[in-house]
Amino acid sequence: MTKAMVVHAFGGPEVLSWEERDIGQPGPGEILVEQAAAGVNFIDVYFRTGLYKPASMPFVLGKEGAGTVVALGEGVTSVAVGDRVAYSGANGSYAERLVIDADEVVKLPEAIASETAAAVMLKGMTAEYLLRRTFPVGPGTVMLFHAAAGGVGLIAGQWAKHLGATVIGTAGSAEKCALALEHGYDHMINYREEDFVARVLEITDGKKCDVVYDSVGKDTFPKSLDCLKRRGLWATFGQSSGKLPDIDLSILNQKGSLFATRPSLFGYVSNREEREESAGALFDVIASGAVKVRIDQTYPLADAAEAHRDLEARKTTGATILTV
């Protein structure tokens, strides 16, 4: 048995139910992980509200976490009992214990604490694929990153600066802008006080950006497109402000033969090899000191509903974790 945060019906944070569940023993190819912490992400909100549909109801919320292997199923050789591991993309991390496919986890190096891994796996690997594979940034790249003070944004700002890019960000308060400037951003725009398109034009002397990374969705469309150079790329990878409207693709032609993509982490780490490569790059950049991980909010796992309320109210910065 384990205690877990279960969703029986879609809705607000109040639908989260802290209850006991029988998870059984790991089967062939599976492991049992005793959790140290679970990460909190907007994708959890999407599943809780029903914007994204789970495979079945009821279900345990959560997509990332870290802990210690306490039992092995038949045939598992990639990890051993006692190994510290982390994962992103698997279902059910809001739990004290979790049975998971062994291929879903990566081993943690000594330099990475379990709490750090729980905070950074989904967000950090998202930053990795965006900056290194969706649009590989480097010296000379000019980029705009919305929600710069969020969990992905603070990692992406530092990593992009480490790669040599000029990094512009947006956030919704002076405090969040100041925080992002401490984490790699060259320029910050308070979107509540300034027109971010006009400021991008000013910052770039009218040349605009090579790429816009946009997890906000409804509130930043179509203005994100106006920040792009001819043949620039709009990478829309989330919708924290609401679902995007149906888009007439001719707008990309009208605004400069633009490219657009709607990527997700799971399209970039669909197998064990890709997962280990992405996580390895993330762990290396953290261990080097180039990227520092901020865990700004910590809640007991049983208080996950409060964490969701704060996340949706945009009261959070950096990473948020639930501790067991």
pTM of the model: 0.89
CA distance 37 to 263: 26
Q: Examine the domain organization and report whether 13 and 77 are in the same domain.
A: yes
Q: Which of 209, 232, 262 is the last residue of a domain?
A: 262
Say yes or no: 39 and 68 in one domain.
Answer: yes
The Cα 150–Cα 227 span in angstroms is 21
User: pLDDT band at 239, cuts 50/70/90?
Assistant: confident
- Dihedral sign from CA coordinates of 205, 211, 215, 220: positive
Residue 133 forms part of a structural domain: no
pLDDT of residue 171: 96
Boundary-marking domain end, from 262, 285, 314: 262
Please check whether residue 126 lies inside any domain of the structure: no
Per-residue pLDDT band at 241 (split at 50, 70, 90): confident
Tell me, yes or no, whether 37 and 95 share the same domain.
yes
On whether residue 98 sits in a domain, the answer given is: yes
**Straight-line distance from the first to the last Cα atom of the chain, in angstroms, rounded to the nearest whole number:** 15
Over residues 256-273, the mean pLDDT reads: 94
Does the residue 134 lie in any domain?
A: no
Q: Is residue 125 part of a domain?
A: no
> Per the domain annotation, does 196 fall within a domain?
yes
83 and 29 part of one domain: yes
**CA distances in angstroms from 199 to 204, 205, 289, 324, listed in the order given:** 8, 10, 31, 43
**Tens digit of pLDDT for each residue in 177-199?**
999 999 999 999 999 999 999 99
Cβ 75 vs Cβ 9: under 8 Å: no
Q: Which of 239, 262, 285 is the last residue of a domain?
A: 262
In total, the chain counts a number of residues equal to 324
Residue-level pLDDT at 243: 86
Q: Identify whether residues 116 and 157 lie together within a single domain.
A: no
Cα–Cα dist 298/38, whole Å? 10
Note whether 15 and 61 are same-domain residues: yes
The CATH code of the domain that includes 101 is 3.90.180.10
Q: How confident is the model at residue 240 (pLDDT cuts 50, 70, 90)?
A: confident
**Is the pLDDT score of 214 beyond 90?**
yes
| pLDDT mean over 155-165 | 98
Number of domains in the chain: 2
- pLDDT per position as a tens digit, 36-68: 999 999 889 999 999 999 999 999 999 999 999
User: Domain for residue 226, yes or no?
Assistant: yes
pLDDT grade, residue 83 (50/70/90)? Answer: very high
Looking at residues 301-306, what average pLDDT do you find? 97
Q: Are residues 251 and 285 in the same domain?
A: no
Same domain, 103 and 30: yes
How far apart are alpha carbons 324 and 308 in whole angstroms? 17
**Gyration radius (Cα) of the chain, Å:** 20
Give yes or no for a cis peptide into 13 (omega within 30° of 0): no
CB of 144 within 8 A of CB of 170?
yes
**What pLDDT is recorded for position 30?**
98
- Mean pLDDT, range 132-144, rounded to an integer: 98
Long-range contacts of 304-313 (CB under 8 A, 24+ apart): 304/5, 304/13, 304/16, 304/18, 304/40, 304/61, 304/94, 305/13, 305/14, 305/16, 306/13, 307/40, 308/13, 308/16, 308/40, 308/44, 308/45, 308/48, 309/13, 311/40, 311/42, 311/45, 312/13, 312/45
- Asked whether residue 86 is domain-assigned, the answer is yes
User: Do residue 253 and residue 279 come from a single domain?
Assistant: no
Paired tokens of 284: 């290396």
**Residue range 317-323: average pLDDT?**
91
Q: pLDDT tier at 301 (50, 70, 90 boundaries)?
A: very high
Q: Which residues have CB under 8 Å from 186's CB, separation 6+?
A: 161, 166, 167, 168
Q: Are 168 and 199 contained in the same domain?
A: yes
What tokens were used for 17? 């139910």
Say how far apart CA 307 and CA 215 lie, in whole Å.
19
Provide the domain limits for residue 300.
2-120+269-323
Q: How many angstroms separate the CA atoms of 33 and 71, rounded?
A: 7
47 and 158 co-located in one domain: no
> What pLDDT does 90 receive?
87
Say yes or no: 245 and 195 in one domain: yes
What's the mean per-residue pLDDT of the chain?
Answer: 95
| E strand map for the chain | 2-7, 16-21, 30-39, 59-60, 64-72, 84-88, 97-101, 105-107, 142-145, 166-171, 187-190, 209-214, 228-236, 259-261, 295-300, 319-323
* pLDDT of the residue at 314: 84
CATH of the domain at 180: 3.40.50.720
**In whole angstroms, what is the distance from residue 38 CA to residue 13 CA?**
17
Per-residue pLDDT averaged across 76-90, rounded?
A: 95
